[in-house]
Structure formats: structure tokens, C-alpha cells
Amino acid sequence: MRYSKMFTKTRKEAPADSDSKNARFLAQAGFVQQLAAGVYSFLPLGLRTLRKIEAIVREEMDATGAQEITMPLLHPKALYDATGRWEKIDVLFKTEGSGSKEYALSSTAEEVITPLVQSFANSYKDFPVAVYQMRDKFRNEPRAKSGILRGREFLMKDLYSFHLTEEDFLAYYERMKEAYLNVYKRCGLDAIVAAASGGVFTEKHSHEFQVATEAGEDHIYIDRETGEAFNKEVIEEADHANEEKYEIKKAIEVGNIFPLECRFSHAFDFTVNSAEGKNIDVIMGCYGIGISRLMGSIVEVLADDDGMVWPKEVAPYHVHLVALGEDEMAQAESLYADLQDAGLEVLFDDRADASPGAKLKDADLIGCPVRILVSKKSLEAGGVEWKDRSSGESGIWDLGEAVERAAQMLVEENV
Ligand code: ATP
Ligand code: MG
């Protein structure tokens, strides 16, 4: 991509109301733009990163045997009458259609997926089933804040699993924990699995995936002896008096997995016949990842004072190629073509009207893993200057080896 052709531009100033690193840097670099509190457009650079996170989530979910679908975002009220959640979900956006028909905007999708799977899975032979989607969710959060960390419209992966035995459910639940940890790792984050109370659904524990950072609004309690983590609520239930036992960390909840038991299958009379003709219950689980929140969390955890630092798997481009002067442009042009031929994704700052300082500042702000600079100085030194955005390491590559070296760097771990 040629920077000169990108319709978005970096901005010198952060939006006045930026209350967090992700709100500031994502807006300044032109990744997102706020339309209203908690409501964002994703612009070309931001959308590339969001799609890459989606692709990671898709790969990890598919690997568990789950199948992707999309479900409508407009949910008829009657479905909520069956589960009793029309009044219970306090963040539900409600709207009226023609003929005074009432609808909710999807805040989650148990009311849709349960009857949907029920319509296909009518024999014990049809189980287990796991289905997911990646679509916007709407929640009328009282306080939208921290950029894309807490939105009123945001992107979530929601997966629902259906089982006929507790054992089968638990095996899948554990498999999902593994898949979640893979997702976060590939996004450059260490997530902590914290036990949480089951909320309105169940007496049993659910699990949250928490990324420790000062920017988080949650508090997790880590047992100093065993390393086990809990969310605050649980702690309050179970071990209230013993808080010095735990290390307390601020964290962002980037995912959540929940045993639903028969809460929703019962609401829709979803049972099936066993081989012996006996009626058996359908046990469900639900599994969410806030994809847009995850993108904001990567910024919160990895950014430095100069801007964002994207891990290679989720960076909008692998290489940020900068040509400093007019004479260097021709050299950079041919390198741009060669890097792309080698399969690398390149953002090429080919602007003629931007100062060297502005170009270098923008490269740091946007945060691609490797910057390659073609300047008079680098050419005198025999080639191009490379810089690793994350470690700050830099050096000179001969012109002839630059493509190969860049490719090597981007397939190595931890770039
Ligand atoms: P929170 O406790 O942060 O309000 P939640 O427990 O209500 O979230 P879930 O219903 O489990 O969240 O949703 C699954 C995932 O979706 C969460 O783990 C989180 O990563 C993400 N998420 C939830 N609410 C928001 C929001 N308002 N904006 C962005 N992401 C969200
Ligand atoms: Mg929560």
C-alpha cells in the first residue's frame, strides 16, 4: 500500500477526550474513528488488524471442530419471552419495527442459536455440535470508555456448544481454554485464566481470560502460593477474609467461557432421544472473545511512548518502507516491488511532501514490526537501514540481501 494513496492520514493531535493509550494511538494513526461514545468506524489500517485477529480466532475455533455461521442481529422479542431475558439483560438495546413488532439488537445470541441447532440436531447421533459467529454486538453500556475496550457496538466471537453428557461438555470446555490461550499468545499477549462466578446462569464457575495491565478495569486475585487466579466477585464469595493471600492485579477481560448447563435448552424444550428411546437433556456452553477489545488490549500492553507496537501476526503490514529523499525514491520503488514479490505486506511511505521527521514519527506511531529506511546515509553505508519496532534494534542490510533478511525476520519468533 502506498501511503500517498491511503485516504486516511495520521493526525498530530490525539482526540481531546482520549482516556487511554488505545483511544489515542488508534485514532491518531487513523486506525479507527469515533462516531459516538463507544461506537467506532474501522479504517483501512485498523480493519486489516481486526481481520487478522479474526483470522487467528477462526483458525483456532475451526481447529476445535466448531463451524462458522452468521446469525441476524435483529432478534424478535418472542425469543426472549421464552428465556425470560427481555427484562433481565440490562444492556439490551430494544427497538420497534413496523406493525409494532419489538426487537432486540443482538447483545449475545443464545436465543437464536438454541432453536437453530434444535431444528437440525434431533437425534443423539447429531451431537456434539459447536457453532460460532463473529459479528457486532450491541450493548447499552452505561459508560462506554477506554477507546475500543468498552463499546456500545463492538465485534465479538461468540461460540455455543451442545453436548449430551457432562463429560463431553467438560472435555470441550477444557479444549476451548487451550484454544483461547493460543489466540492470545498469537496476538502477543499473556492471558491469565481466572475463575469467576457463573453470574445469572449457573452456580458453577465460569472462566475469564484476563490480560494484566494498569489500563484494565477488572481486578484479578492471584493466589501467591498456587498461582491460581480469581476474579474479585469469586474471592468475595469464597475467601473474603484472606485478601493478603493474593496478589491483586488490574486487568482487561479479553474472553469469557461459561457453562450454561440446561438453562437455554430447557427454555426451548430442546431434548433428544437416546439410543434406548429415553429423553436426554442438552447441555450447553458459551464462549466469547471480544475481538475489538482484544485489538485495543494489544495497544494497551505493547505500545510505548512513540506509538503502537504490533506483533507480526496482527500488524496491518509487516514492513513499513520509508524513502527519505527524491533520489532514494527509485531505489525504494524497486525494493517495494521485491518485498511484495517475496510475500511481505508493505506500507510504503512514498510521500514527496512529508519531512523525514514526520515520516519516521508516523512509522513509530503506526507500529509495523519492521521499518526499512532508504536514505542517503543508508545508501552510503551500502544499503538500507532496518529497525525492529519492538526491540528498537537497528542495522544496515546490503541492498541485495534486504528482502531475504526481512522475510527471515518476519518468520522468526517474537518479531
Ligand atoms: P464485561 O465484564 O467486560 O462487561 P462481559 O462479562 O459482559 O464483559 P461477555 O458477555 O462474556 O462479557 O462477552 C464476551 C467478551 O466480549 C468479553 O470477555 C469481552 O472481551 C467482550 N466484551 C464484552 N462487553 C464488551 C464491550 N462493551 N465492548 C467491547 N468488548 C466487550
Ligand atoms: Mg465480565
| CATH number of the domain where residue 400 is located | 3.40.50.800
308, part of any domain: no
Ligand 1, residues 156, 205, 299: which to mutate, most atoms within 8 A of Cβ? 156
Report the pLDDT value the prediction gives residue 197, as an integer from 0 to 100.
81
Report the pLDDT value the prediction gives residue 97, as an integer from 0 to 100.
95
126, part of any domain: yes
Report the pLDDT value the prediction gives residue 240, as an integer from 0 to 100.
58
One domain for residues 281 and 331:
no
CA of 338 to the centre of ligand 1 (A): 42
One domain for residues 204 and 146:
yes
309, part of any domain: no
CA of 290 to the centre of ligand 1 (A): 6
Report the pLDDT value the prediction gives residue 239, as an integer from 0 to 100.
61
- The reply to whether ligand 1 has any atom less than 6 angstroms from the CB of 253 is yes
pLDDT digits (tens, 9 = 90+) for 301-342: 999 999 999 999 999 999 999 999 888 999 999 999 999 999
Report the pLDDT value the prediction gives residue 244, as an integer from 0 to 100.
82
What φ, ψ does residue 277 adopt, rounded to 5°? 80, 15
* Cβ atoms < 10 Å from Cβ of 13: 9
One domain for residues 111 and 244:
yes
One domain for residues 277 and 145:
yes
307, part of any domain: no
Signed CA dihedral, 19, 42, 45, 393: sign only: positive
One domain for residues 275 and 371:
no
One domain for residues 357 and 252:
no
- The reply to whether ligand 1 has any atom less than 6 angstroms from the CB of 216 is no
312, part of any domain: no
- The reply to whether ligand 1 has any atom less than 6 angstroms from the CB of 256 is yes
One domain for residues 219 and 297:
yes
Position in ligand 1 atom list of the atom nearest CA 156: 16
One domain for residues 298 and 331:
no
Position in ligand 1 atom list of the atom nearest CA 158: 14
Residues 6+ apart with CB under 8 A from 17: 23
Report the pLDDT value the prediction gives residue 238, as an integer from 0 to 100.
66
- The reply to whether ligand 1 has any atom less than 6 angstroms from the CB of 184 is no
State the residue range of the domain holding 173.
3-302
Domain tally, the chain: 2
CATH number, domain containing residue 35: 3.30.930.10
Report the pLDDT value the prediction gives residue 204, as an integer from 0 to 100.
66
One domain for residues 148 and 43:
yes
155, part of any domain: yes
One domain for residues 253 and 388:
no
How far, in Å, CA of 148 to CA of 39, rounded? Answer: 8
- Structural contact between residues 384 and 374, judged by C-beta atoms closer than 8 angstroms: yes
Residues 6+ apart with CB under 8 A from 39: 144, 151, 152, 153
313, part of any domain: no
One domain for residues 19 and 157:
yes
As averages over each run of 10 residues, the pLDDT of the chain (415 residues) reads: 97 92 98 97 98 98 98 98 97 97 98 98 96 98 96 98 97 98 98 81 76 96 92 76 83 97 97 93 98 98 98 98 92 97 97 95 98 96 96 96 95 53
CA of 255 to the centre of ligand 2 (A): 8
314, part of any domain: no
- Structural contact between residues 261 and 202, judged by C-beta atoms closer than 8 angstroms: yes
CA of 360 to the centre of ligand 1 (A): 36
Which residue, 239, 274, 302, sits at the end of a domain? 302
One domain for residues 113 and 165:
yes
C-alpha angle with apex 262: 261 to 265, nearest 5 degrees?
135
CA of 156 to the centre of ligand 1 (A): 8
Nearest CA to ligand 1 atom 12: 256
